[in-house]
Structure 1
């Protein structure tokens, strides 16, 4: 099992025991097909829903684990509408339409399992009435709409190389009066630039970067072997190509990996950090990489840039030279529908390029 899955599985095991027995049964049913990360999102959604039921007096349970099937079975449509309203209007951080749609889909999955798949000792459905079957989940994020939201929030053309160079050199000049920040940057700039370079030259997801081990790297053939999202075969790693520029950055970083981060021989992780007060380097976390990219992005003048938008940046650039099927394969998408986003993005890029040449 890859590193991120181990972490998520542990969190899932810790939280699922605080759910009603029928939710625990549902999670066990889904475990072979869905990743621990996805199931953890389900648990968070159920925690919020059951908490709301209890707060509204729709469940008499003192804790979420005490919510009963009968209480779910006797919910009225007005209660479901009320919960949806709660998600969109609650004062502490309202949810986007996409988030609300996902949370309602999580509930539909649970209610469908309880009413259509799970059985009691007499072979009857656990849930006799499924109120969530009446709830229509509209498709929110169409590829064209997603592309429109990404426009101006990703790196384009020469910016890909400029951002990597900024991490390696430019950021240091911008913070030269902050001795503590400058020291940290001098210590980590080669590693940080290498991570950004790898994503911008391969399109890897942050979880895939975190899970990389040194022996997953084939420098001669410019290949990485990664656990792809959605692939539950723990014995198979997918080969993913990266560009020449990233090869140079990886070679440079690898010369520093052991000595600078005091990385022990037993540590297999490709990207490591040496936390304050620690004597040995250890695998970087997903959160650390995300925070690192955001730090550089703000100074670079692209405050909306995130690790995932680096992946979008690569994909848009890659799609300009390749077809949708090669782009899908490179990014590890389950279907070309997801990859269509880059067709819409590059349509705009190409039209702008034509206009510039006409000037």
Structure 2
């Protein structure tokens, strides 16, 4: 999903929200928050508002009728109870009587602790705004007290070592990243049976190689790659301008692994997709006879298709993990990894110190020799 599509969905989502939550989204949009992040927050807020009604914390019958008084009457215990509801309820609740009956005979998967923590983070952002924003009529903050400050974070129920081991199985490290690109370039076509499938592959091969090479050459997020324009790519200095999560522009270094693939694509972009002069998107697709920006879902499917044929099905995010792990192995610097990935601190990158890798295993094998 690109920023424009996320903004459209977010605006549709918040139309039925109470006015003070709509004000929150106007404020964050003005602060240049990522539309993708705000859309994810909107989904979390809808779930919370529906819960307020279902558990009688509000007398409203529709979520747009929920008031600031309802929010001001919430206590930390109430919000902790909501956290418990998220932890103990299935990922997707059955909506109809028939579905509830069918699902009652088997156990549904629960949300991961990390997923619940994202919901808590979203709510904390909303409550912080409501506690700071001033009501024009009263001259006082929307919320008298910010009760979310009393709500503890959800601890991850997996150790760093366990998470690292799970991630490591889906990484392309050392020569494997180069082998992956060479596989797509020279061998993938041999896995296709029909003439039509081969023709479709050759049609987008140059673009697909450039996309995967850019992932492996930068570690950028899917949304950052999708939203890139032609002007954002500086091949002369091996840099790319990206719009980071949190609404900030950044320059990211491009590894030499990606350079030749990007040069090939840029030189053929116009011939392959015939974009108009107004279409500035870097990566394109043809839809109904017109060139348009390729969607994130299409890129996810494309990466999954190639990687599954090569080794194991992975997402663009796993390619990002691959870059981060490789960079940490080369530099032993979490700061450098955080800067390359566009992280505000090193806390999110400590996972890479727990990915065993060949060097750690070799050290243990030689421990007593």
For normalisation by structure 1, the TM-score amounts to: 0.85
Query: Alignment partner of 1:227: what SS?
Result: strand
Query: Alignment partner of 1:28: what SS?
Result: helix
Answering whether residue 329 of structure 2 is matched by residue 313 of structure 1, we say no
In 2 relative to 1, CA 101–227 (structure 1 residues): closer, same or farther, beyond 3 Å?
Answer: closer
Q: Which residue of 2 aligns with 1:97?
A: 113
Answering whether residue 38 of structure 2 is matched by residue 22 of structure 1, we say no
Q: Which residue of 2 aligns with 1:127?
A: 143
Q: Which residue of 2 aligns with 1:38?
A: 37
Query: Alignment partner of 2:187: what SS?
Result: helix
Task: Give the CA deviation at 1:188.
Answer: 1.4
Query: Alignment partner of 1:274: what SS?
Result: strand
Q: Distance in 1 between matches of 2:293 and 2:136?
A: 46
In 2 relative to 1, CA 300–16 (structure 1 residues): closer, same or farther, beyond 3 Å?
Answer: same
In 2 relative to 1, CA 329–90 (structure 1 residues): closer, same or farther, beyond 3 Å?
Answer: closer
Task: Give the CA deviation at 1:198.
Answer: 1.4
Q: Distance in 2 between matches of 1:307 and 1:134?
A: 36
Task: Give the CA deviation at 1:217.
Answer: 2.6
Query: Alignment partner of 2:244: what SS?
Result: coil
Answering whether residue 284 of structure 2 is matched by residue 272 of structure 1, we say yes
Q: Which residue of 2 aligns with 1:207?
A: 223
**Runs of 5+ unmatched residues, structure 1:** none
In 2 relative to 1, CA 264–119 (structure 1 residues): closer, same or farther, beyond 3 Å?
Answer: closer
Q: What's the RMSD between the two structures over aligned residues?
A: 2.9
Q: Size of the alignment, in residue pairs?
A: 348
In 2 relative to 1, CA 228–118 (structure 1 residues): closer, same or farther, beyond 3 Å?
Answer: same
Q: Which residue of 1 aligns with 2:171?
A: 154
Which whole-Å deviations, capped at 9, do the CAs of 1:1-38 have from their partners, x for residues lacking one? xx943443333333222110111222233334433322
Query: Alignment partner of 1:281: what SS?
Result: strand
Task: Give the CA deviation at 1:143.
Answer: 5.9
Residue pair 2:113, 2:155 contacting (<8 A) in 1 also = no
Which of 305, 312, 335 matches 2:345?
335
Which of 172, 185, 197 matches 2:189?
172
Q: How does 1:245-324 map to 2 (within 5 A)?
A: 245-275=257-287, 278-303=288-313, 305-324=314-333
Q: Which residue of 2 aligns with 1:86?
A: 85
Q: Which residue of 1 aligns with 2:234?
A: 218
Residue pair 2:53, 2:61 contacting (<8 A) in 1 also = yes
Q: Which residue of 2 aligns with 1:163?
A: 180
Residue pair 1:262, 1:279 contacting (<8 A) in 2 also = no
Task: Give the CA deviation at 1:68.
Answer: 1.7
Q: Distance in 1 between matches of 2:275 and 2:152?
A: 52
Residue pair 2:72, 2:144 contacting (<8 A) in 1 also = yes
Query: Alignment partner of 1:225: what SS?
Result: strand
Q: Distance in 2 between matches of 1:150 and 1:349?
A: 14
Residue pair 1:293, 1:307 contacting (<8 A) in 2 also = yes
**Runs of 5+ unmatched residues, structure 2:** 93-108
Residue pair 1:54, 1:62 contacting (<8 A) in 2 also = yes
Task: Give the CA deviation at 1:139.
Answer: 4.8
Query: Alignment partner of 1:314: what SS?
Result: helix
Deviation larger for 306-315 or 147-156: 147-156
Residue pair 2:117, 2:154 contacting (<8 A) in 1 also = yes
In 2 relative to 1, CA 104–328 (structure 1 residues): closer, same or farther, beyond 3 Å?
Answer: closer
Residue pair 1:120, 1:126 contacting (<8 A) in 2 also = no
